[in-house]
Amino acid sequence: MVTDSAEKLLAEVQAIVGEEFASAEVEERILASYDATRRASLPEVVAFPRSAEEISAVLKLANRGKTPVYPRGAASGLTGGAVPVAGGIVLDLRRMSRILEIDEDNQVATVEPGVTVSDFQTEVQRLGLFYPPDPASADFSTLGGNVAECAGGLRAVKYGVTRDYVTGLEVVLPQGDIIHVGARTLKCVTGYDLTRLFVGSEGTLGIFTKIHLRLIPLPPARRTLLALFDSPEAAATAAPRLLKAGILPAALEFIDDATIECIRKQQPLDIPAAARGALIIELDGDEASCVAGIAVIERACSENGALETRRADTPADRARLWPSARPPRPRFSRPSRTSSTRTSASCRRGPRKCSAARAKSAAGMASSSPTTATSARATCMSTSCSRTAKRRMPKPKPPRPKS
Ligand SMILES: Cc1cc2nc3c(=O)[nH]c(=O)nc-3n(C[C@H](O)[C@H](O)[C@H](O)COP(=O)(O)OP(=O)(O)OC[C@H]3O[C@@H](n4cnc5c(N)ncnc54)[C@H](O)[C@@H]3O)c2cc1C
């Protein structure tokens, strides 16, 4: 049921973002009610802003009415930060999905927060550049969400995490002020490092509307190895020992027995029955060092109990191997309403299109969404209500939004 106050709030938000881009329909509210923690709570209004100025105006409005505001990317977060536990307004940022600039000479880029990680990686790779942070959710999670969570991922050991690539941000503060921290260049070393303060702040300090990212040259060669072990413990024990072999892998992924069972059922990898644990090891660099390095890693795997090792040398071999370590797009994450392109035109589709169908599919999300979080963080971005509440997570169950 939409109350008079919710109707008033909707009208005020619509006056800022446009009628088509704010909704209080129950389907749209359900879609904005949860994240990968499976906690769920209905917001009053969902808005799809297009600019920092619109977000600023919504936050000023929210401050006047002490209304909580929740920024939201792809809702794949495992900390509960995007769940509107106190109702209010959800700002779905996936309409802000333009790659604004890729500066090849200076190896930096500027993006809007709704660009997905894999779309960005693909674009920079076309230019011989590399954005290393690579969470397993890269195909659907947004760069805004990655910055807010300081996402790590498969390449963290060699290349670091999201924090190591953010050089500057445009941020809308809870009161609605738009500020810039850091810079679009690497050389910005004086003064307080406010950029680092914002990275990992889970939406509690402000909403990122532009993100400046550092890039590095794309390594010319890549080699991947699958090592099979007779138990998850054997694989886990071998992993740190491989690092001592003197080769730093670009990615090192542990696969447990339950995951191997799923792979056996779903993928043509032909894994022997004795294998109950595995490691995927990827090296990158120049061709010669990759070839030599993979031989060293193969030897180290055998010396540390591997039943078998398999090389994946061609892109096709690698593509067959990596999906086993990458989840498919979860059902809790509906496709974004725009695909990110370099300076793409703005989306003209409103939130109402097909929202009933999307909500229906979202309602069935529970069976496929992973849950590992142990606490949920509720953030209220209204100045007069800037609390952060931590709560214990119940056992995972399908989301039942509160109205
Ligand atoms: C299958 C799966 C695999 C995953 N693998 C990894 C992994 O390998 N490594 C890893 O680190 N994480 C991983 N995650 C967790 C998750 O994908 C990351 O935390 C990701 O960064 C969240 O991005 P999102 O766009 O989904 O953000 P959301 O879940 O929508 O939001 C996450 C938080 O960021 C805030 N937020 C979103 N956008 C903005 C913005 N523009 N400004 C300010 N705050 C904002 C939200 O309020 C919320 O607090 C995985 C999750 C899943 C479901």
Q: Would you say residue 75 has pLDDT above 50?
A: yes
Mean pLDDT of 371-382: 31
Domain identity same for 210 and 225: no
Write out the residue range of the structural domain in which residue 370 sits. Answer: 4-95+334-344+351-392
If you measure from the C-alpha of residue 89 to the centroid of ligand 1, how many angstroms do you get, rounded to a whole number?
19
- For the CA of 116, the closest atom of ligand 1 is 25
Strand partners, 283: 223
Beta strands in 83-230, from DSSP E residues, in sequence order: 89-92, 98-103, 108-111, 129-130, 166-172, 178-182, 207-214, 216-217, 221-229
Q: Would you say residue 399 has pLDDT above 60?
A: no
Domain identity same for 238 and 180: no
Domain identity same for 156 and 174: yes
CATH number at residue 50: 3.30.43.10
CATH number at residue 200: 3.30.465.10
If you measure from the C-alpha of residue 174 to the centroid of ligand 1, how many angstroms do you get, rounded to a whole number?
20
If you measure from the C-alpha of residue 77 to the centroid of ligand 1, how many angstroms do you get, rounded to a whole number?
4
Q: Examine residue 401 and state whether it is found in any structural domain, yes or no.
A: no
- Residue where the block lists tokens 């129950």: 26
* Banded model confidence at residue 236, pLDDT cuts 50, 70, 90: very high
144 pocket-lining for ligand 1 (C-beta < 6 Å): yes
Domain identity same for 90 and 10: yes
In percent, how much of the chain has pLDDT > 70? 79
- Residue 177 has a CB neighbour count (10 Å cut-off) of 12
Q: What pLDDT digit, counting tens, does each position of 142-182 carry? A: 999 999 999 998 899 899 999 999 999 999 999 999 999 99
Testing ligand 1's pocket by substitution, the residue of 50, 115, 141, 331 carrying the most ligand atoms inside 8 A of its CB is: 141
Domain identity same for 227 and 277: yes
Domain identity same for 80 and 165: no
Q: What pLDDT digit, counting tens, does each position of 44-53 carry? A: 999 999 999 9
135 pocket-lining for ligand 1 (C-beta < 6 Å): yes
Domain identity same for 74 and 113: no
Q: Examine residue 149 and state whether it is found in any structural domain, yes or no.
A: yes
Q: What is the DSSP string of 58-88?
A: HHHHHHHHT--EEEESSS--SSSTTS-TT-S
Q: Examine residue 365 and state whether it is found in any structural domain, yes or no.
A: yes
* Banded model confidence at residue 191, pLDDT cuts 50, 70, 90: confident
Pick the residue with more confidence: 318 or 289?
289
Q: Examine residue 281 and state whether it is found in any structural domain, yes or no.
A: yes
Q: Examine residue 19 and state whether it is found in any structural domain, yes or no.
A: yes
Domain identity same for 197 and 166: yes
200 pocket-lining for ligand 1 (C-beta < 6 Å): no
* Tally of structural domains, the chain: 3
Testing ligand 1's pocket by substitution, the residue of 35, 51, 137, 199 carrying the most ligand atoms inside 8 A of its CB is: 137
Domain identity same for 306 and 361: no
pTM: 0.82
